[in-house]
């Protein structure tokens, strides 16, 4: 019940911020488009605008402070013993607020049989996210140390509650709270993001929330660094610390090496080499991460 | 004779007034200063060289102005502009900011853009045209970003809508 | 008797015109200070077609130095009004005034655009870029219209004789439709200036 209250309060704060974000326009109208290439980021696996595996402080969509934008994404990660997919949609309002939805599917394939779940057993979860940009400007604040800062929440509902309970998971639903700081260091052609996340999710929630080793939210760090090779191409690396709440299977941190390419203002393609470590006792889960994001 | 007196009187009354260069429209008087350029110049001579010096900067500005006049996102802003003055002051500004042997004699960013009602999207469209012009001149991307890093904060003075 | 005979004689001497004489109206605010930019109108004669009427002033609302010039323009219903931009910045003129609402998207210097005004009433003009720019167009259906100058006086040279209802409109008038009326009995205004006062609010 407490989770619901927190969500409702945050949603209220975000809505009122959206209402005041436009200043006092003489007419009610809004525009689409206007962001510079790649400055909306891509879509992270949880659905928020960001890097590949971590949210950034940028707001999704091409809109500026005068408009509305949106994105859809599909991400696939082929691992030695599993297949991971994420797809969803997000909307950005006035470069200030972002609402997102993503569905994640974790197909255990033949591994499911080995785990006693049955071949092709799939964990899936729905993730609803909201993000509010609170300070700074990642692009224009080149003369200031202050990064762009956003706070966000992700509420996740997993559809395999019985299995999660059987492996020691505490809950099939949960929420993450995070704060992200993003800054473009134009003089160095570098983009840096740091995210602090309060979470009790196991494997991002795919194996539920909390467990026999702990149920509390803990603070986890996430870092992205990107080097801009051209207006269209960024290469970089990400690292995401993970909690470890399940006794039956150690959970490792995630990291990736990525290249994101803006085909045009609407389409961004990302390829990465991602290493999710050990998942459900199956180690060395690393493979090719491919993501496509389309937006306006 | 009366006209001459009137011009002399008006010149005497305007502090730091600059005579209107040939081909340009007169502007309201303002204090001429390099601080109007909106940023401190770079001291790394490699950047000025990468831009091809004064000649390269001239070509970049000419190309950028050509592009913005036909860019449907920007054409209306500049349709009313004095392009002779715009080219001259942009060349001065870029040359000064890149550490070249130039002085900027234009207006401060805030007053030169006041009343134009420029949006962030339009500011970004201008940046894109500048990027294309720098590409055409063969300026390496990381060197382009050295200039853009100085121009980016001007968004706060230029964008009013 | 002479008062009646003279106009009659004039009417005979000037066929095609109803008997007419100059009318002056002095408009003040409630404190008695003269009100500029007030528009006075008289009822139109029978059969008057505003669509074919032309006033002596240009049907033009300029944008100059970030202002609408003139501040108030009187046009006959159906008029096509030019909106030239005399500034070096672009304008984006619009109005939300009922059936006369229009929008002229962003446009640059010296571009004259035409807007037709097909309905009587007051049209409030704004600029999407420059919030301080406000202007007014008063669309009328009568040939008898004039605007007060700085002295608050408006004159209609050929006002018809007989009892008249003078309508005064001002952009800042507090009444619902921005107008006040003054009934003049026959001959009331002959040789003098009719007085009318309006309650106004402070301009925005």
Cβ distance C89 to B116 less than 8 Å, yes or no, reads: yes
Per-residue pLDDT band at A28 (split at 50, 70, 90)? low
Kindly provide the b/e burial profile for residues C54-93, where b requires at least 16 CB atoms within 10 angstroms of the residue's own CB: eeeeebebbbeeebbebbbbbbbbbbebebbbebbbbbbb
Does C130 share its domain with C186? no
A29 touches chain B (CB under 8 A): no
Question: Which residues in chain C touch residue B71, judged by CB atoms under 8 angstroms apart?
Answer: none
Any chains having at least 3 CB pairs less than 8 A from chain C are A, B
Q: How far is B137 from chain C (nearest CA, A)?
A: 30
Question: Can you give the C-alpha Rg of chain C in angstroms?
Answer: 18
Q: Using DSSP bridges, classify how beta strands C193-198 and C20-29 pair: parallel, antiparallel or unpaired.
A: parallel
Predicted pLDDT at C6: 41
Check residue C98 and give its pLDDT.
87
C104 and C67 within one domain: yes
Q: Provide the shortest C-alpha distance from residue C187 to chain A (in Å).
A: 48
> Considering only A24-33, A100-109, B66-75, which range has the smallest mean pLDDT?
A24-33
Q: Is B117's CB within 8 Å of C128's CB?
A: yes
Q: How far apart are CA B65 and CA B54, in angstroms?
A: 16
> In sequence order, what are the residues at sequence separation of 6 or more whose Cβ sits closer than 8 angstroms to the Cβ of residue A92?
A40, A49, A59, A60, A61, A63, A68, A69, A70, A71, A98
**Is residue B13 packed enough to be buried (19+ CB in 10 Å), middle (13-18) or exposed (0-12)?**
exposed
From the list B25, B75, B115, which residue is nearest C89 (CB)?
B115
> What was the pLDDT predicted at B16?
54
Distance CA A186, CA B157 (A): 19
C39-98 residue pLDDT tens: 999 999 999 999 999 999 999 999 999 999 999 999 999 999 999 999 888 899 999 988
Q: Do C129 and B161 touch (CB under 8 A)?
A: yes
If asked whether residues C193 and C115 sit together in one domain, one would say no
Contacts of B70 (CB under 8 A, 6+ apart): none
The helix (H) or strand (E) run that includes residue C179 is: strand C179-184
All partners of chain A with 3 or more CB pairs under 8 angstroms: B, C
Q: Which residues of C touch B77 (CB under 8 A)?
A: 90, 108
Q: Count CB-CB contacts under 10 A for residue C103.
A: 12
CA-nearest of A95, A178, A91 to A138 is A95
Task: Give the up-direction half-sphere exposure of residue A136: CA atoms within 13 A in the CB hemisphere.
Answer: 19
Residues of A in contact with B156 (CB under 8 A): 140
- According to the model, what pLDDT value does residue A61 have? 97
Q: Are residues C94 and C168 in the same domain?
A: no
Tens digit of pLDDT for each residue in C114-149? 999 999 999 999 998 898 999 999 999 999 999 999
Closest chain B C-alpha to A66 CA, distance in angstroms: 8
- Which chain A residue is nearest to residue C95, measuring alpha carbons? A27
- CATH number of residue C60's parent domain: 2.60.40.420
pLDDT in tens, B51-102: 999 999 999 999 999 999 999 999 888 887 889 999 999 999 999 999 999 9
- Domains in chain C, number: 2
Q: In the predicted model, is pLDDT for residue A5 greater than 60?
A: no
| Least trusted range by pLDDT, from A136-145, B111-120, C19-28, C31-40 | C19-28
- Structural domains of chain B in order of their starting residue, each with its CATH number: 31-158 (1.10.490.10)
Contacts of A26 in chain C (CB under 8 A): 126, 128, 131
- Are B141 and A31 in contact (CB < 8 Å)? no
Share the mean pLDDT of chain C.
Answer: 85
Q: Across the interface, do C90 and B77 touch by the CB < 8 Å criterion?
A: yes
Show me where the domains of chain A are located: 2-19+33-295
pLDDT at C163: 85
Judge if C59 and C135 occupy the same domain.
yes
**Residue C130 within any structural domain of the chain:** yes
B84 versus A4: which is more confidently predicted? Answer: B84
Q: How far is B78 from chain C (nearest CA, A)?
A: 8
pLDDT at B7 over 80: no
ipTM value, please give it. 0.87
pLDDT in tens, A121-135: 999 999 999 999 999
| pLDDT for res A20 | 34
Give the pLDDT confidence of A239-284 residue by residue, as tens digits. 999 999 999 999 999 999 999 999 999 999 999 999 999 999 999 9
pLDDT at A6: 39
Task: Supply the pLDDT for residue C192.
Answer: 65
pLDDT band, residue C203 (cuts 50/70/90): low
Q: From CA A164, how far away is CA B12, in angstroms rounded? A: 85
CATH number at residue C32: 2.60.40.10
CA C200 to chain A, closest CA, distance in angstroms equals 23
d(CA A283, CA A250) in angstroms, rounded, equals 9
The rounded distance, in Å, linking the Cα atoms of A56 and A129 is 13
Kindly state whether residue C9 falls inside one of the protein's structural domains: no
End-of-domain residue from the set C97, C125, C140: C140
How many CB pairs below 8 A link A and B?
Answer: 56
User: How many angstroms separate the CA of residue B17 from the nearest CA in chain C?
Assistant: 20
Domain that includes residue C92, residue range? 50-140
Domain boundary among C106, C121, C140: C140
**Cα–Cα distance measured from residue A33 to residue C71, given in angstroms and rounded to the nearest whole number:** 36
Q: Do B121 and A33 touch (CB under 8 A)?
A: yes
Spatial contact of C38 and C27, defined as CB atoms under 8 Å apart: yes
- Closest-approach residue (CA) in chain B for C107: B76
Q: Is the pLDDT of residue A107 over 90?
A: yes
In terms of Cα–Cα distance, which of A292, A227, A224, A223 is closest to A262?
A: A292
Nearest to C88 among B81, B117, B161 (CB): B81
Give the CA-trace dihedral at A31, A37, A38, A39, to 10 degrees: -60
Q: What percent of chain B has pLDDT over 70?
A: 89
Q: What pLDDT is attached to residue B123?
A: 97
Rounded to a whole number of angstroms, the distance from the CA of C125 to the nearest CA of chain B is 17
pLDDT tens-digit series, residues C157-189 = 888 888 889 999 999 999 888 888 888 887 666
- Which residues does chain A have within 8 Å of residue C94's beta carbon, measured at their own beta carbons? 27
CA distance C138 to C145: 10
Query: Would you say residue B12 has pLDDT above 80?
Result: no
Q: How near does any CA of chain B get to the CA of C117, in Å?
A: 26
On whether residue C10 sits in a domain, the answer given is no
Average pLDDT over residues A12-22: 38
**Residue reference for tokens 């993501």:** A291
CB contacts < 8 Å between B and C, how many? 39
User: B123: nearest CA in chain A?
Assistant: A34
Whether residue C122 is found in the same domain as residue C188: no
C9-48 confidence digits (pLDDT tens): 443 444 444 567 788 999 999 898 999 999 999 999 999 9
Of A35, A142, A143, the CB nearest to B124: A35
Best probe of the A interface among C97, C125, C128, C204, by most A CBs < 10 A, is C128
The answer to whether C94 contacts chain A (CB < 8 Å) is yes
Of B122, B127, B150, the CB nearest to A36: B127
Contact A34 B119 (CB under 8 A): yes
Say if the Cβ atoms of B150 and A33 lie within 8 Å: no
On whether residue C2 sits in a domain, the answer given is no
Q: What is the CATH number of domain A2-19+33-295?
A: 2.40.160.40
| C interface residues, B as partner, C-beta within 8 Å | 66, 85, 87-90, 92, 106-111, 128-130
Q: Is C128 part of the contact surface with chain A (CB cutoff 8 Å)?
A: yes
| Residues whose CB is less than 8 angstroms from the CB of residue B39 and which lie 6 or more positions away in sequence, other chains included | A143, B97, B150, B151, B153, B154
What are the pLDDT digits (tens) for A62-74? 999 999 999 999 9
Looking at the structure, tell me whether residues C75 and C128 fall in a common domain.
yes
Could you give the percent of chain A with pLDDT greater than 90?
88
């Amino acid at each position: 019940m407490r989770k619901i209250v927190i969500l409702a309060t945050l949603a209220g704060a975000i809505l009122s911020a959206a209402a005041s974000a436009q200043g006092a326009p003489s007419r009610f109208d809004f525009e689409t488009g206007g962001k510079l290439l790649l400055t909306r980021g891509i879509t992270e696996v949880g659905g928020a605008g960001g890097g590949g595996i971590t949210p950034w402080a940028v707001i999704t969509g091409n809109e500026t402070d005068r408009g509305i934008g949106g994105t859809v994404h599909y991400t696939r990660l082929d691992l030695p013993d599993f297949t991971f997919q994420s797809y969803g949609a997000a909307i950005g309002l006035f470069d200030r607020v972002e609402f997102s939805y993503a569905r994640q599917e974790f197909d255990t394939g033949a591994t499911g049989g080995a785990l006693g779940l049955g071949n092709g057993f799939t964990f899936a979860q729905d993730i609803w996210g909201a993000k509010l940009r609170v300070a700074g400007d990642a692009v224009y604040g080149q003369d200031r140390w202050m990064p762009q800062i956003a706070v966000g929440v992700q509420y996740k509902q997993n559809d395999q509650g019985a299995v999660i309970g059987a492996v020691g998971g505490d809950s099939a639903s949960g929420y993450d709270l995070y704060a992200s700081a993003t800054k473009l260091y134009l003089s160095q052609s570098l983009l840096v993001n740091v995210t602090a996340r309060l979470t009790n999710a196991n494997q991002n929630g795919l194996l539920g929330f909390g467990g026999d080793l702990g149920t509390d939210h803990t603070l986890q760090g996430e870092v992205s660094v990107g080097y801009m090779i051209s207006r269209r191409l960024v290469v970089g690396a990400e690292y995401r610390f993970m909690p470890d709440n399940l006794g039956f299977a150690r959970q490792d941190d995630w990291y990736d090496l990525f290249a994101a390419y803006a085909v045009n203002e609407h389409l961004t393609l990302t390829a990465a080499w991602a290493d999710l470590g050990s998942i459900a006792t199956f180690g060395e889960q690393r493979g090719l991460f491919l993501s496509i994001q389309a937006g306006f | 004779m009366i006209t001459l007196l009137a011009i002399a009187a008006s010149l005497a009354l305007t502090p730091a007034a600059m005579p209107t260069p040939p081909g340009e429209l007169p502007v309201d008087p303002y204090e001429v200063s390099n601080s109007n350029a909106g940023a401190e110049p770079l001291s790394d001579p490699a950047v000025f060289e990468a831009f091809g010096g004064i000649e390269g900067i001239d070509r970049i500005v000419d190309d950028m102005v050509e592009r913005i006049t036909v860019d449907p996102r920007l054409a209306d802003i500049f349709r009313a502009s004095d392009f002779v003055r715009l080219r001259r002051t942009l060349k001065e500004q870029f040359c000064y900011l890149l550490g070249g042997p130039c002085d900027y004699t234009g207006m401060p960013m805030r007053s030169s853009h006041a009343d134009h009602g420029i949006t962030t999207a339009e500011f970004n469209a201008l940046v894109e045209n500048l990027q294309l012009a720098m590409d055409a001149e063969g300026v390496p991307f990381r060197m382009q970003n050295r200039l853009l890093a100085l121009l980016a904060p001007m968004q706060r003075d230029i964008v009013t809508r | 008797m002479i008062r009646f005979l003279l106009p009659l004689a004039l009417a005979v001497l000037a066929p095609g015109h109803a008997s007419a004489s100059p009318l002056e109206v002095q408009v003040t605010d409630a404190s008695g200070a003269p009100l500029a930019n007030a528009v006075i109108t008289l009822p139109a004669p029978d059969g008057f077609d505003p669509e074919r009427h032309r006033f002596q002033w240009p049907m033009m609302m300029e944008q100059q130095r970030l202002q609408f010039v003139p501040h108030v323009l009187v046009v006959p219903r159906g008029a096509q009004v030019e909106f030239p931009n005399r500034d070096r910045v672009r304008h984006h003129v619009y109005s939300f005034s009922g059936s006369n609402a229009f929008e002229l998207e962003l446009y640059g210097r010296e571009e004259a655009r035409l807007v037709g005004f097909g309905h009587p009433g007051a049209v409030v003009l704004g600029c999407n870029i420059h919030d301080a720019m406000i202007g007014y167009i008063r669309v009328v259906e009568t040939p008898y219209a004039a605007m007060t100058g700085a002295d608050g006086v408006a004159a209609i040279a050929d006002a018809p004789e007989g009892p008249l209802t003078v309508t005064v409109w001002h952009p800042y008038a507090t009444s619902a439709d921005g107008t006040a009326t003054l009934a003049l009995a026959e001959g009331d205004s002959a040789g003098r200036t009719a007085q009318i006062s309006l309650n106004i609010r402070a301009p925005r």
